[in-house]
Amino acid sequence: MLLACVASQEILHLHHGKSLKSYPISSSKLAPSCKEGSLGTPWGLHEVCEKIGEDSKPGTVFEGRVPIGLTATECTPEQRSRNLITSRILRLDGLELGVNRGGEVDTYKRYVYIHGTNHEEKIGTPASSGCLQMVNSDIIEIFPIIPVGTHLFISLN
């Protein structure tokens, strides 16, 4: 199980109720929100429904969940100025109908992920557009040990 805390900007990897490791994250720079178009980080119970990028080089950039053939350092300055999705993607699906699943509050349809970023210096502060961003080495470390179906609870405090 994973537990993400927006207030402390961290994600905990838990196993049988014990914390195995804590990782710093960046949630949305805007207010938390489950609503489509808000660019806020959704709260509540989710599950990892898809894993993308298993064999990709560290720093690989993804657009539409597909590698573009470049790492972040190979991108143009304009591309690097944006928050890029890098290294690995853990796609999330909301499990709470009316909270983060269905209608205008659907985490899956909003394309909310846990992923690496090209702006690692911002990790630990709200900086994303709704996703949970991690340092590339951290998402690469946790990726193989988080199976599809793993639950993630996103807490606001």
pLDDT at 107: 98
For residue 17, what pLDDT is reported?
Answer: 87
- The residues, any chain, with a CB within 8 Å of residue 83's CB and separated by 6 or more, are 117, 118, 119, 127, 128, 129, 133
Question: Which residues are paired to 111 by β-bridges?
Answer: none
pLDDT at 127: 97
For 2-155, CATH number out of 2.40.50.140, 2.40.440.10, 1.20.1640.10, 1.10.10.10 equals: 2.40.440.10
d(CA 144, CA 122): 24
Which regions in the chain score pLDDT beneath 70? none
DSSP-derived 3-state class of residue 83: coil
Burial of 152 (0-12, 13-18, 19+ CB in 10 A): buried
**Domain extent listing, the chain:** 2-155
> What confidence tens digit (pLDDT) does each residue in 114-155 have?
999 999 999 999 999 999 999 999 999 999 999 999 999 999
- Residue 13, pLDDT score: 97
